[in-house]
Chains A and B, each alone.
Chain A
Amino acid sequence: MMAGATYRDTPIAGTSVFTGARSRQGYRINKFSMSLTDPANRDAFKADEAGYMRRFGMTDAEIDLVRKRDWKGLVAAGGNIYVLIKVGGAVGENLLKMGAQMRGQSFEEFMKTRPGQQGVAVPRDH
């Protein structure tokens, strides 16, 4: 056994590690989000967002976070980014836009920080 190899809630700045506690907290949000891997569910969600989310037992506050496309709030509520991307896909937002919002930047501001846009991303063979 290698004690301490697994994560033990030691803080990492700007980071919400997806622990068991977060997975419990965000269970309804994440279950709703994963359901959007089914095209019929995506259609049902788009037709009536709130009604669809209530089926998963989401609270009014959680539904409101989705209504506002508040990705930072959804992560804080236990949402996992890998399933929140599916919500983003259903509402026409991509990961770059979601991330810019989480950083409190406009999409354009965020893109200026990317090495590929700055021309400083250099491929390395060794």
Chain B
Amino acid sequence: MARIVGGIGCSHAPSIAHSFDRGLQKDPMWKPLYDGFEPAKEWLEKLKPDLIVAVYNDHMNRFFFDAYPTFALGVADRHPQADEGWGKRDFPDLPGNAEFSWHLAQSLVEDEFDPTICQEMTVDHGILSILPLLTDNRWPAPLVPLAANVIQHPLPTPKRFFHLGQAIRLAVETYPQDLRVLVVATGGMSHQLHGDRFGFMNPAWDNEFLDKLESDPQALVALRHHDYMERGGAESVEMIMWLAMRSALGEKVRRVHRHYYAPMLTGYGLVVFEGVDG
């Protein structure tokens, strides 16, 4: 049987990708972010997962509003990188695991989640801004991309994401092969990228979210989209995707690492958990 061996929640942002590509790892403004990822990188190096399930969102690089899926699951053995509008980065395609993905699709549907099934799934900075900070390998394990709509309202509710993580766990635990699975959820913490409130960040709220994610996730499940947007900025509502990672780990978690840094436009949060329920 497969099992979940850990979870990572982290902010994604084009700025992280740009800093990486420009070699700004030691730049005074960026160094704290990269230093903050080091313990997660070391943990992942030891963990050596066989598979990564990543809950994230696409930024109109794979999907557009002509037909925008609420949930979309990549079921290919390879996931090419999307050109986001300024050319592709120098990375190889991400490996996938079609066999596990189809199992996940079946299990999710039986569990009353009905994702759009994608045999072609280009991936964007929702995954690729972060992955190079978590590993020097290209890439550490096959990755199954599960995209969610956190852009065009109405969005899935926080509760829905909590249930999604439980459904992912059930799918993993009913997979016959002995795979050790890492669940990752990405999504910028406080940020607003438009209007008079452009540049808004709220580190106090972000850290409260990180506290509650660990010890009282139901308090986060109970909030409305309005609450998230008011506290963290409109675009920060994507933090709700982290709930899927949290619930996939079970009732209680052990925190391996936590880091937070908010220098410019987005609260960069990072948390590493291991489940303790067995």
Chain A positions within 8 Å of B, measured between CB atoms, are: 2, 4-8, 10, 12-20, 23, 27, 30-31, 33-34, 36-39, 42, 72, 75, 80-83, 85-86, 89-90, 95-96, 99-100, 102-104, 110, 113-117, 121-126
Contact = CB atoms under 8 A, between A and B. Distances in A.
Contact of B263 (A4, A72, A114): A114
Given A5-B157, A116-B264, A86 B197 contact: no
A102 B193 CA distance: 9
Interface stretch (B2-10, B93-101, B136-144, B227-235): B227-235
Interface stretch (B29-37, B113-121, B167-175): B29-37
B82 A37 contact: yes
A102 B194 contact: yes
B85 A42 contact: yes
A39 B154 CA distance: 32
A2 B14 contact: no
A17 B259 CA distance: 29
Contacts of B199: 99, 103, 110, 113-114
26 contacts: A5-B158, A5-B225, A6-B224, A7-B226, A7-B229, A8-B226, A18-B234, A20-B154, A23-B65, A30-B64, A39-B83, A72-B195, A80-B152, A99-B265, A103-B199, A110-B199, A114-B264, A115-B263, A116-B264, A121-B32, A121-B263, A123-B32, A123-B261, A124-B260, A125-B259, A126-B258
Given A15-B234, A17-B234, A7 B196 contact: no
A10 B226 contact: yes
B224 A4 contact: yes
Contacts, number: 162
A42 B153 CA distance: 29
B61 A37 contact: yes
Interface residues of B, number: 55
Interface in B123-175: 151-155, 157-159
Interface in B13-42: 14-15, 29, 32-33, 35-36
Contacts of A126: 258
A20 B152 contact: yes
Nearest to A110: B199
Contacts of B59: 82
Contacts of A14: 192, 195-197, 200
B111 interface: no
Contacts of B264: 96, 114-116, 121
B66 interface: yes
Given A95-B14, A123-B32, A18 B83 contact: no
Contacts of A8: 226
B157 to A, nearest CB: 4
Given A102-B196, A110-B199, A30 B154 contact: no
Given A95-B14, A114-B263, 5 more contacts: A12-B234, A37-B85, A89-B84, A95-B193, A124-B207
A124 B157 contact: no
Given A5-B158, A72-B195, A110-B199, A18 B261 contact: no
A38 B64 CA distance: 14
B37 to A, nearest CB: 11
Nearest to A99: B198
